[in-house]
Each structure stands twice: as C-alpha cells, then as structure tokens.
Structure 1
Amino acid sequence: DRTRSTLEVESGSNDPMAVFLTISLVELIILGGGENIALELLQRFILQIGLGTIFGLAGGYALVWMINRVKLEPGLV
C-alpha cells in the first residue's frame, strides 16, 4: 500500500515536466529550433511556471472567496 502511494506521488510530480519537455521539444523541432535551444527552453519554462503560478493562485483565492460566500442549509454544515 505504501509503494502504491509513493508511485502515485512520484508520477504526479513528474508528469507536468514530461508534458512540458515533450511539447517544447516537438515545437522546437517543427519550427526549426534556433540558435540557442537551451535559452528558448528556459524562456518557455519560465513562462509556463509563471503563468501556472498566477492562474493557480488566482483560482485558489477565487475558490476560497466563493466557498466562504455559499449559504448552506443547517443540515449540511
């Protein structure tokens, strides 16, 4: 049971990076790359991490705001 939990955490933490690298490298190959592929990958990484952070925080605050304003029936509290 502990091995299963460990594999789930490890898989979930590596999947976003694998998706980022796959999409970025395929796009660079299709577009012909460039002079400095490492710099292009770094720029894309910073953009993706930055946007993910901004949207994640904004979504989290929006959810907290909405949840705190929901009026529930007394039996559901």
Structure 2
Amino acid sequence: MRATRIAAVIFSAALAFVGANNAFAANPYKTPCTADGKRVCAMQNQAKAESCLRQHMDQLTPACKTYLTKKKG
C-alpha cells in the first residue's frame, strides 16, 4: 500500500514536470539541473556543468535526470 502511494506521488511529480517543461525552456539559464549543477559539480554555469552532471546521474534529482535524458535525444 505504501509503495503504491509513493509510486503515485512520483507519477504525479513526473506529470507536473512534463507540464512545466515549456516554462523551463523559456529561460535557458534556469533548468531543473541548475541546483544539481551547483550541488554535485560545484559549477554556476549549467552549460559547462552538463558533462559533469551526465557523469553523476545517480546523484541527480529526478527532474534533472528527465531533463538531461530529453535533451540528449
């Protein structure tokens, strides 16, 4: 039962992210990976941090992982 609730919350968050994806695209300097770039790679410039972020996918937030996966394709 608890696993079902967790899955529902994750699914809802993913749907919210997909809906908000256009808002992120409006400002290329603010992405779902901005905070992760600062936290994981200690970089302010997200464009420069992208290769570092891809090397540390296991440490990223779900929103950032989704963003990088979509951006690659």
- TM-score by length of structure 1 reads 0.30
Task: Determine which structure has greater relative contact order: mean sequence separation of CA pairs < 8 Å that are 6+ residues apart, divided by chain length.
Answer: 2
Q: Which has the higher helix share?
A: 1
Give the greater-gyration-radius structure (CA). Answer: 1
